[in-house]
Structure 1
């Protein structure tokens, strides 16, 4: 997950950076200036922003959040601040942040807050809370990317990087161009949520990304994806070849 940070205290900024990296997330921008942070929102495509309220530049963190919203960004914002007074909180609340954390930061609380912010954002985008909650409990959310809950981290994987999904007992192994992950969902449940224009089932336990096909051997009924050979199930062959005429 791509995170941007605005924090005017250099020591605290370094601490925040260390904690975020240790959690396994990627920091794509860090600054002490609200104007620079505004540029980050527009150019770095972050998944989440951690904002201090007292920062340098032409506006404070709350004003920055309002500006970002006026520009149409819906990036989740978490305020991380030393301002514990009611007036500041009421002003911050008007920007509808995903959370308001008082310094010093509790590491576990920060990580849970980030996870909840990401989860809420994806629930909002898919506009079906019951279905989203079920999917999250089963370790995956799907939109134009999948968000895989892996140990204590949330990994964002664009669908274009998926190669193969293999059913493994009660799990599905997701093979990507970078890493492989296990999620606690059935292959059928995941397939129903993937774009049918890109993904096709070739075996009762295998779904492939058609754009990742390297070659097909019709004599052996196999297909090569990501350097690996997979069998094409007899009951899936005709439908698979028919789909290829439309997909490729």
Structure 2
């Protein structure tokens, strides 16, 4: 089931923070908190990790925004969008070392905020997580994070990968079928096949990728997933059964 993207705002000007929060909620995102200091942000992240952090570079207090990001990144891999009223080379070059997904210069428009978040979500969607488990070596070439981000009703929402039933090709689009909704994604099935974790998903037909954990029945020409018959290509049944035996 789709969920709103969760965003933490770290901004020491509370009027600005409140305005950002209002705009984010209007865009359909969830604001987990508004905090004004770096140490507060780190405490909040440990209790309720967001999907994205909007972080003022020039925070007051013990830690500025860049130092806060550096400490956060020792424990978490959460995308950062920097907010800045001062884009001089000193701060910019320091900030680059934390690999932010975007910079937003104050004052900014609602559209600037929307675009920065959507670009970040798109990058997150197909970003590999290069942290292989030694016991899983050789089973997959990479491990994707546990979610993807899709546009639905004019906003970006996250879909947890394990909740996907199957993916269906429709020309240059893909339909992602979950328990409650169908999401349309502007990408090809080939691209989806390359990005989904190979340990759990298998292309069973030229137009379908199945989540192996969701397969209820296997027939000679199709599989059943949540009472839906999904076509299976000729000669793929044995491969599918082999994979089902290993999960």
What TM-score do you get using the length of structure 2 for normalisation? 0.73
Q: Which has the higher contact order (CA 8 A, sep 6+)?
A: 2
Q: Give the Cα separation in 2 of the matches to 1:209 and 1:124.
A: 20
Does the CA contact (< 8 Å) of 2:175 and 2:182 recur in 1? yes
Change (3 A) 1:27 1:221: same
1:198 counterpart residue number? 200
1:236 counterpart residue number? 236
Equivalent position SS for 2:193 = helix
Equivalent position SS for 2:95 = coil
Does the CA contact (< 8 Å) of 1:173 and 1:180 recur in 2? yes
In the alignment, structure 2 segments of 5+ residues that lack a partner are: 131-142
1:143 counterpart residue number? 144
> Which is richer in helix?
1
Give, in angstroms, the shift of residue 119 of structure 1: 4.8
In the alignment, structure 1 segments of 5+ residues that lack a partner are: 128-141
Q: Give the Cα separation in 2 of the matches to 1:224 and 1:121.
A: 31
Equivalent position SS for 1:94 = helix
Aligned: 1:75 with 2:78: yes
Give, in angstroms, the shift of residue 168 of structure 1: 2.2
1:165 counterpart residue number? 167
Equivalent position SS for 1:200 = strand
Q: Give the Cα separation in 2 of the matches to 1:203 and 1:45.
A: 37
1:32 counterpart residue number? 36
Equivalent position SS for 1:29 = strand
Q: Give the Cα separation in 1 of the matches to 2:203 and 2:166.
A: 10
Out of 173, 176, 188, the position equivalent to 1:174 is: 176
Equivalent position SS for 2:50 = coil
Give, in angstroms, the shift of residue 245 of structure 1: 2.5
Q: How large is the RMSD of aligned CA atoms in angstroms?
A: 3.3
Aligned length: 227
What TM-score do you get using the length of structure 1 for normalisation? 0.73
Give, in angstroms, the shift of residue 211 of structure 1: 0.7
Out of 3, 10, 17, the position equivalent to 1:6 is: 10
Give, in angstroms, the shift of residue 94 of structure 1: 0.7
